Amino acid sequence: MIMQRYIHGVGMTKFGIEDISAPDLAREAIVQALKGSSMSPNDIDAIVLSNADTKLSPERQRDLTPMLASILKRKLPIVRIPAVCGGGGAAMWSALKLKYNNILVIAVEKIASTSTQMITKEIMHASDNFHEQDEGLIFPAVNAMVAQAHMLKFGTTHDDLALISYKNHHHGSLNPKARFYRKNISLDTIKNAPIICSPFTLYDCSISVNGAAAAIISNDRSDIKVKGSSLAADYLAPFERDELTTWTGTVKSGKEAFQQADLNPSDINVAELHDAFSIVELLAYEDLGFCKKGEGKNFIRDGHPNLDGKVPINTSGGLKARGHPISPTGMAQIVEIADQLRGRCGDRQVTNPKYGLAHNIGGAGGTTTCHILQKW
């Protein structure tokens, strides 16, 4: 069981490619979170930071903890949690374990000015570099093999994956902080885009951006309660697992979060699911229990995860259209769910949500977190 914790203020920069330094990105998200909490820096008791310990940042600023102390003008405990693409969710999970009263959780990354080659190489730290990488299995290839396995076993098609991309781009076009804000992408464009790694086209893959996202959690009551928080790990390489089309980390973390919250998947009103590749979102439909195994294709065909569907998913635009700045992704999910529960999402607002879920993955299913928030 987790301690009774509440979400106070949240903050997030626009996710984009603007040349803004990591400290300035962090400062913007922190100021928003403090303002939303009606707190000052003096009210913060500890900080949990996530950023990638790699060469991704062209500024080469790898240790950002002193930077946060400078921004807040405070000398206080700061813990750093690197978990690559799952860093934001892992930072949130870790912060909830600490016994401090008011904790700032912040994730920040500046990677969009880095070359594609460098981004690809550095992100591969979250995968197997003894077997997979020697065979050319960078992340698009690994996830494409998972998609192919799902298609062979369950009859899923690329048209089903295209519906996921189309949905998320529509949602992202409504999100002022998304990379694809006001950029409507047609279904035909998605289907006919260049092949990246069969069956994936360009729009099956997430886009790299810069950004920061933050939240302040507290023992003091607010309008949003953390009902469930879980973290699970799986074997690093998908080929080591018993089943390519079931990601056990998602299954385990989802079950644990639902048990903590005393809820079922049918209780969730809005969700942010990790969609680094379109197939990953479809797998999460099944592994989290929104539908049965093999029926993810029917779930998207029937429009259940659309904005007006049974359980709107990735209302922010997801990693596809909001963008994927690595560590901040998991915290951006928390921000979106908190804003949805508070009714602050404008044209993409879900009607009267009470429960929201955030699902964040590091690697190809290696580290997975799930958080369930409740409008209190």
Question: Annotated active-site positions, please?
Answer: 85, 324
Taking each helix axis from N to C end, the angle separating 248-261 and 278-287, rounded to the nearest 10 degrees, works out to 50
- Cα–Cα distance between 366 and 237 in angstroms, integer? 8
Determine the Cα angle at 61 with ends 59 and 66, to 5°: 140
SS3 track for the chain: CCCCCEEEEEEECCCECCCCCHHHHHHHHHHHHHHHHCCCHHHCCEEEEECCCCCCCCCCCCCCHHHHHHHHCCCCCEEECCCHHHHHHHHHHHHHHCCCCEEEEEEEECCCCCCHHHHHHHHHHHCCCCCCHHHCCCHHHHHHHHHHHHHHHHCCCHHHHHHHHHHHHHHHCCCCCCCCCCCCCCHHHHHCCCEEECCEEHHHECCECEEEEEEEEECCCCCEEEEEEEEEECCCCHHHCCCCCCCHHHHHHHHHHHHHHCCCHHHCCEEEECCCEHHHHHHHHHHCCCCCCCCHHHHHHCCCCCCCCCCCECCCCHHHHCCECCCHHHHHHHHHHHHHHCCCCHHHCCCCCCEEEEEEEECCCCEEEEEEEEEC
Beta bridge partners of 12: 213
Amino acid identity, residue 170? H
Taking alpha carbons only, the member of 165, 150, 148 closest to residue 201 is 165
Contact indicator for 45, 132 with CB cutoff of 8 Å: no
Copy the structure tokens of residue 330: 């998991």
